[in-house]
Amino acid sequence: MVLTDTHTHQYYETDPVKREEQMQRCIANGIDRLFLPNVDPSSIELVFSLVKAYPENCFAMLGLHPCDIKANWRDELTIIQESIPQHKIYAIGEIGIDLYWDKSFFNEQVEAFRTQIGWAKALKLPIVIHCRDAFDEVYEVLQQENDENLRGIFHCFTGTSEQAQKIIALGFYLGIGGVVTYKNAGLDKIVQQIDLKHIVLETDSPYLTPVPHRGKPNESSYLIYVAQKVADLHQTDLETVASITTGNSKIVFGV
């Protein structure tokens, strides 16, 4: 059984002993593939440090997170863009729009999102989208940018059934994480209605820790709880969920 964490910031753990322990727990749980999005220029080195240490298990993507788009966003984008040819990456991400924390840079977030979609298309790479309190705004950009080269993952999907179908119709996968295990979130009912062929799994470690570890820092080894919950919702076994969702990840990332 091979499970794939399509979105983890496990590189935030920089202590080599703790990092090794985390990776060993991943492997023990069958989580052999970890996809790592950076968020800003300072996290690029962290991502590739983990990739270098575990080249068989870790795969990088690069992008500028919408929450990191401030007054100097153009300079930050330039740094990230210039680093792309120096590394092997499998997606542009995480990118998108976030109106939960700060709406003052909304126009800049949209422009940066469009710019990075352009990078992905030029490089024939998928995008990994961060969207918080901004579904309509993100969807509008995706509709405008939609063509045969636009594809990717809608990371940390927690929306409605209607929103899920809109994303699927664009050819995107839904990234399902720890929220599906939360009793009152309602995501379980949505995921139950979605064919597994449209789903990939993720932790967003160290955030959004699944039950039974909710309230503690998340890590990629906890993907096993997300996978088991999805299996329960679809009345199937863990191996089936692992096979289908890892297969989906291979389609989107090409590895």
Domain count, the chain: 1
Domain containing residue 86: 3-253
Q: What percent of the chain has pLDDT over 90?
A: 99
pLDDT for 101: 86
pLDDT confidence tier of residue 53, bands split at 50, 70 and 90:
very high
Give me the mean pLDDT over the 166-179 stretch. Answer: 98
**Contact predicate 104/17, CB 8 Å:** no
For 144-162, write each residue's pLDDT tens digit: 999 999 999 999 999 999 9
Residue 251 pLDDT greater than 90, yes or no: yes
For residue 134, what are its two tokens?
């901004």
Q: What is the CATH number of the domain that holds 76?
A: 3.20.20.140
pLDDT at 102: 87
DSSP-derived secondary structure letter, 9: -
- Name the percent of the chain lying above pLDDT 70: 100
Cα–Cα distance, 82 to 76 (Å, whole number): 10
213 pLDDT band, cuts 50/70/90, is very high
Q: Is-contact 130 65, C-beta < 8 A?
A: yes
pTM: 0.97
Q: Is 180 helix (H, G, I), strand (E, B) or coil?
A: helix
C-alpha–C-alpha distance, residues 120 and 238, integer Å: 33
Q: Please state the rounded mean pLDDT for residues 181-196.
A: 96
C-alpha–C-alpha distance, residues 211 and 40, integer Å: 29
Residue 224 carries which side chain, given as an amino acid letter? I
Stretch 217-228: mean pLDDT: 98
Inform me whether the pLDDT recorded for 214 exceeds 90. yes
